[in-house]
Amino acid sequence: MDNILYSGFIGPKAENIEALRILLNKVLDHQRTWRQSFFIEDDSLYKNFKNDFSSIEKELDLFLQKYNSNTPFFHPRYSAQMLKDTTLPTIIGYLAFMLTNPNNHAYEGGPVTTDMEMAVVSWLKNMIGYKQGWGHLTSGGSLANTEALWAIRDYYKSGTVYFSEVSHYSWKRICSILRIPQYEEVNVDKNFRMDLNQLEEKLEHNPALAVIANFGSTGTGSVDDIEGLLQLKNKYDFHLHVDAAYGGFLRTIILDEKGAVIPYKETLPISDYAYKQMFLLNESDSITIDPHKQGLISYGAGAVLYKNEELRSVILNTAPYTYHQLDKPNIGMFSFEGSRPGAMAAACYLTYKVFPLNNVGVGKVAYNSLKASKEFYNMIEDSDGFKNLHHPDLDLNCFYVNSDLRSATVHNEYVINLYKQLSVEAKNPEFILSKFVMTPELSRRILPNLENSSNENVIALRSVFMKHWNGLDENRYIKMLVYTLNRKLSEIKI
Ligand SMILES: Cc1ncc(COP(=O)(O)O)c(C=O)c1O
């Protein structure tokens, strides 16, 4: 593709809708020819049937009206949650196979799409740097993490599960579902990274079943110190699972076209700390990575990879009525989920053919999001009105109104005032951001100077800059956002 940053997406002003129409027609023409190639001697059932699509058309009109209250998730002005603009190959790839609806739980349910899923998994393994192992797609990150911990629990049998206090909320839920009462949360440091001193103290008393590291925590995008965790793993021997649901695909920025890791250089839009941890993802024992976050795919696609293939044998499941082609991959025999859309594997396959998992494909897109986040961080550093809550490890920024020496109450009033104007709660907001809420206890560690005698939660504004549009045109939208924030701030009277 000439310039995938532009041609791979629908575009903020639907610039590529006509291209999509042409591609859709191609898929539909192919579908007609393909269907007609089967049992050609059969007569059509439609001989005496008069088509009438009026009820579909009527309902579709009503249905499309509902779109008007949908949020413009695709736009660079939306950075509230984890959404990218939809890619053309994802739409086309999904639709092409949805038209016949294969099911990737068993090879017989989706032979072509299972082969595609296995190809995608081998690309994902290359992206992470796993030379061996097994993995598959899931419907999302929570499912991938659930399955991983299920396999880990049944493989190793005992020990405590450790994860940081800013880990995704689902980890506690997963421990509850899997009836693992022995889990402990570990404090984070000022950059929201797991405190490894505290972890070590805990490990001395309670051996670990697994340590779950974040490569991109949900709230702040923080990256745990994988290097330090590997040293602890050597000493205390545990399974290291990385929850890279959010950040895993960003490793594409350090892979060249042959898949080799490029050395750190100043022009990369990440710190050498983040680079080091990205580099070391290949040393983890298992990993969750979500195509539906940074991987350019629409919702419905997570993935889990295991370095040790034996972990799948403890969750083996068979059935008398399926999984008959045993010389082929039957993913459902080794997965938590049953039926899964072959169309999603097809969407991933076509997308990663167009956007390969290296720095000229997905990495080129990711580069621009990271660059935008870095620019935003620098602009906030330079501003009088705002402060960064943390140094972003990836492309997720939290910030607040410069509130040194103010109380938590006043701090929150400013942040909430801005949030109400620049979020899904506002009517016609100029930008759509979200917020990050810290418990009083966490906020005391992160913002020790903030007076908080009323023991309030402390709130920051949060922007997920994973849309590459923000990095284009000399970071135009980032500049506009900072300008808007300053203007709104000057209008606030508290
Ligand atoms: C770090 C992390 N892990 C897990 C999840 C859960 O993923 P999903 O919402 O796809 O189930 C998320 C979602 O935001 C996440 O950010």
pLDDT in tens, 313-367: 999 999 999 999 999 999 999 999 999 999 999 999 999 999 999 999 999 999 9
Instruction: Tell how far the Cα of 164 is from the centroid of ligand 1, in angstroms.
Output: 14
Give the amino acid at 264: Y
CA of 75 to the centre of ligand 1 (A): 21
In the predicted model, is pLDDT for residue 104 greater than 70? yes
pLDDT band at 404 (very low <50, low <70, confident <90, very high): low
- What are the residue ranges of CATH 3.90.1150.10 in the chain? 366-491
Ligand 1 contacts CB of residue 241 (under 6 A): no
Percent of residues, the chain, with pLDDT higher than 70? 99
CATH topology of domain 97-362: Aspartate Aminotransferase; domain 2 (3.40.640)
Cβ 290 under 6 angstroms from ligand 1: yes
Instruction: Say yes or no to pLDDT of 278 above 70.
Output: yes
Residue with tokens 């939290």: 398
Q: Please, what is the average pLDDT of the chain?
A: 96
pTM above 0.85, yes or no: yes
Q: The domain 366-491 is classified under which CATH number: 1.20.1260.10, 3.40.630.10, 3.40.720.10, 3.90.1150.10?
A: 3.90.1150.10
460 has pLDDT over 80: yes
* Region 276-303 average pLDDT: 98
pLDDT for 51 beyond 80: yes
**What length is written for the chain?**
494
Quick one: pLDDT band at residue 48, thresholds 50, 70, 90? confident
Centroid of ligand 1 to alpha carbon of 489 (angstroms): 32
The answer, yes or no, to whether residue 1 has pLDDT greater than 60, is: no
Judged by average pLDDT, the poorest of 117-126, 179-188, 395-404, 415-424 is 395-404
**Token pair of 281 as six digits:** 């993802």
Nearest-atom index, ligand 1, CA of 214: 1
Q: What angle do CA 42, 45, 48 make, to 5 degrees?
A: 130
Q: How far is the CA of 272 from the centre of ligand 1 (A)?
A: 25
pLDDT-based confidence at 2, cuts 50/70/90?
A: very low
**What is the torsion angle, in degrees rounded to the nearest 10, for the CA atoms of residue 354, residue 357, residue 358 and residue 359?**
60
405: confidence class by pLDDT, cuts 50, 70, 90: low
Q: Verify whether ligand 1 is closer than 6 Å to residue 167 (CB atom).
A: no
pLDDT, residue 94, reads: 98
Ligand 1 centre to CA of 490 (Å) is 36
- State residue 53's pLDDT score: 94
pLDDT average, residue stretch 46-61: 92
Tell me where in the chain the CATH 3.40.640.10 domain(s) lie.
Answer: 97-362
Nearest CA to ligand 1 atom 14: 218
At residue 67, φ and ψ (nearest 5 deg) are: -60, -30
Whole-angstrom distance, CA of residue 129 vs CA of residue 251: 10
Per DSSP, the residues of 216-269 read S-TTT--B--HHHHHHHHHHH--EEEEEETTTGGGGGGGB-TTSPBPPP-TTSS
- Per-residue pLDDT tens digits for 417-433: 999 999 999 999 999 99
pLDDT of 50: 86
- The string of pLDDT tens digits covering residues 181-226 is 999 999 999 999 999 999 999 999 999 999 999 999 999 999 999 9
- Ramachandran area for residue 303 (φ above 0: left; ψ -120 to 50: alpha; else beta): beta
> Residue 112, Cβ neighbours under 10 Å: how many?
14
- Average pLDDT on 20-42 reads 98
Q: Is the CB of 140 under 6 A from ligand 1?
A: yes
Residue 49 pLDDT: 85
